[in-house]
Amino acid sequence: MEKAETSVAGWGSGFFGIVIFSGSLPATRVAVADFSPLFLTSARAVIAALLGAALLASLRQARPQPSDVLSLVVVSAGVVIGFPLLTALALQHVTSAHSMVFIGLLPLATAIFGVLRGGERPKPMFWLFSCMGSVTVAVFALSNGGARSLTGDFLMIAAIILCGLGYAEGARLSRRLGGWQVISWALVLSAPMMLVLSLLTLPSSWESITAPAWLSLAYVSIFSMLVGFVFWYRGLALGGIAGVGQLQLLQPFFGLCLAGILLDEPIEVTMIAATGLIVIFVAFAKRFA
């Protein structure tokens, strides 16, 4: 596949991944109303690990090399455990709309770790448009984010740092192992610990768990934890970690649309205007990546 075709395929795959991830925070917000953050984090990982293990076995995928284990541990710590747990804890203190401000910082975090771990060297103009996009998201979300909490904010910042590292490390490994294989092996690696944690944090009463909470658990387990990464890691590997990572600037706005539908949060004209501006920044960032 030629470089131009590879880039287009990478950005297209990354876009599908972002659309899937956009439902993660609203779904998590619904789920933590009935499940504890620890149970939600561990249960979603165990369910996704079972699916990932089934895929690996049915398609007879070779086991990772011993040298890959440390990278898989980093991926697990970042996107299987760290980000889901910290965001679940944060969403007990802040609204899903407010949490979107920090997702706007994720492209920058991913780009930085892409330089540190992936060896990428974006042009200076890339950093300019990346920062402009992040600032736009931050200004919009802070002006529309609802209730704020210092505890929730710190938890989201920590989540973003770990997620950016997990994205970059997973993308680097995906170039050799493949996107869905990386997340599947990371899930399998963390499964024993997550299974024990889920058993220790089982809900005291199953009767009180509502249907929306069950549906949200299913979404974050199947789509947020596995299917989304199939597209996302492939996109980062093909199109570049720093460049394709800028698509995450669109995630807050997709997420706000879903929050409006699922949680009755208002969708304002300013959101549409800000989305248009973000698209421009993403286009320029892609050009200079």
* Segment (H or E) for 85: helix 83-90
**What angle is formed at CA 273 by the lines to CA 270 and CA 279, rounded to 5 degrees?**
140
For the chain, what are the domain ranges? 3-200+210-288
Phi then psi dihedrals of residue 198, to 5 deg: -65, -35
The answer to whether the predicted template modeling score (pTM) of the entire model surpasses 0.95 is no
The distance from CA 38 to its chain's CA centroid, rounded to whole angstroms, is 18
Q: Which two tokens stand for residue 204?
A: 């005291």
The candidate with the shortest Cα–Cα distance to 79, out of 157, 190, 154, is 190
Beta-carbon contacts of 161 under 8 Å, excluding residues fewer than 6 positions away, are 109
Cβ contact 137:252 at 8 Å: yes
The one-digit pLDDT tens for each residue of the chain (289 residues) are 555 666 778 888 999 999 999 888 889 988 999 999 999 999 999 999 999 999 999 999 888 999 999 999 999 999 999 999 999 999 888 777 777 777 777 877 888 887 777 676 777 887 787 788 778 777 766 665 555 577 888 898 899 899 989 988 988 888 888 878 999 999 999 999 999 999 999 998 899 899 999 999 999 999 999 999 889 888 888 888 777 877 877 887 787 777 777 777 665 666 667 667 776 776 677 666 5
Beta-carbon contacts of 88 under 8 Å, excluding residues fewer than 6 positions away, are 28, 31, 32, 37, 40, 41
